[in-house]
Amino acid sequence: MQKKQARRFSASFSMSSAPSSSRSRGERSKGKIMKKKYGVHAISGAVWLSMMVGCGGGFEDVQDEEQVLKSSESSLSCALYSENFDDGVADELTSGAYRVRWCNTYLPGAINTPPCLSGQTLRTNSSTINPTIWVNKGSNNCTGVRVNYTYYQFALANVTLSYRQSNDLNQVCPQTSLFTTAASHFTTQACVQQSVLIPFGSSSGVYVRFQHGSGSNAMWLDNITLTLEGCSSC
Ligand SMILES: [Ca+2]
C-alpha cells in the first residue's frame, strides 16, 4: 500500500488551457518565474493575484489575470496515476478522493517484452483477457480522464480502447457490456504512444478497457498514466 500511495502524484497540476499566448512577454516571464520558485502545484489563485499586485501589476494586470484564472480554474489538469508494471503489480489507489482499480490484468515476466518497451508489461493475448481500469473522481467536477500509454503488437491483435461511464462506488469485475469504443491500435511492429481522453459525462467514474477481440495475437501495454482533465481543483 505504501508503494501504491507513493506512486500517486500529489496535487500536481497545470493550467492547460490558460491563454498564455494572449499575455505579454513580460507577463509570461512572471509566470515562469513564479512556477520555478513556487512550483505549479503550490500556488493558489489568491496568492497569484496578491503577488501580481505586489510586483507592481496595476489594476489592468489584475483584471487580466483574474480573467485568466476564471478560465483556467475549470480546466486544471491533475496528474493522478502512473504505472510501468516492472514490479509485476498493477498498483491501485484504494482510498482518498480519487480511486484507481484494475480488473482482469495479466502481467507476464519480462522475457518476451519487445525491445522498445522495458521490464514487465501489461499484456492481452486473447479475447478472455480484457484489462480494465476503473477511475473514480468522487464529487470532483473533472470532465474526463486522459489515458496515456505505449503499446506494441507484432500482428493485429484486435484490441480497442473502450469505456463505460458508471456511478459504481467500487469497481465491479468483469464489466461485459455497454462499452463505447474510443480508440484502435495500429500494427506498426514498433512502440506507439497513444493518448485518449475519456469523458466522465454525468458519472462519478468510468471503466476504461483494453478489449481484445477474436484471435490470439498479443498486444503489450506499458507506461500507463492517468490525468484528470477539466477540473476546478485537484
Ligand atoms: Ca514496464
Q: What is the DSSP letter of 74?
A: T
- Give residue 41 CA to ligand 1 midpoint distance, Å: 27
- Give residue 212 CA to ligand 1 midpoint distance, Å: 20
Contacts of residue 85, defined as CB under 8 A and 6 or more positions apart, other chains included, come to: 107, 119, 120, 121, 122, 222
- Give residue 158 CA to ligand 1 midpoint distance, Å: 22
- Give residue 33 CA to ligand 1 midpoint distance, Å: 35
- Give residue 28 CA to ligand 1 midpoint distance, Å: 37
- Interval 121-128 mean pLDDT: 96
195 CB-contact burial (10 Å; exposed 0-12 / middle 13-18 / buried 19+):
exposed
- Give residue 197 CA to ligand 1 midpoint distance, Å: 22
- Give residue 37 CA to ligand 1 midpoint distance, Å: 33
The whole-chain average pLDDT of the chain stands at 77
Cα→Cα distances 33→23, 27, 51, 52, 110, Å: 15, 10, 12, 12, 43
Domain residue ranges in the chain: 18-74, 77-231
The CATH fold of domain 77-231: Jelly Rolls (2.60.120)
Instruction: Tell which residue, 141, 103, 98, 145, has the closest CA to residue 124.
Output: 103
Alpha-carbon gap, residue 97 to 116, rounded angstroms = 35
Q: What is the CA radius of gyration of the chain?
A: 20
Cα→Cα distances 126→170, 184, 219, Å: 26, 16, 9
Q: Which three cell numbers stand for residue 124?
A: 492481452
| pLDDT tens track for 204-234 | 999 999 999 999 999 999 999 999 999 999 8
- Give residue 110 CA to ligand 1 midpoint distance, Å: 8
| pLDDT tens track for 34-55 | 322 222 232 233 222 222 322 2
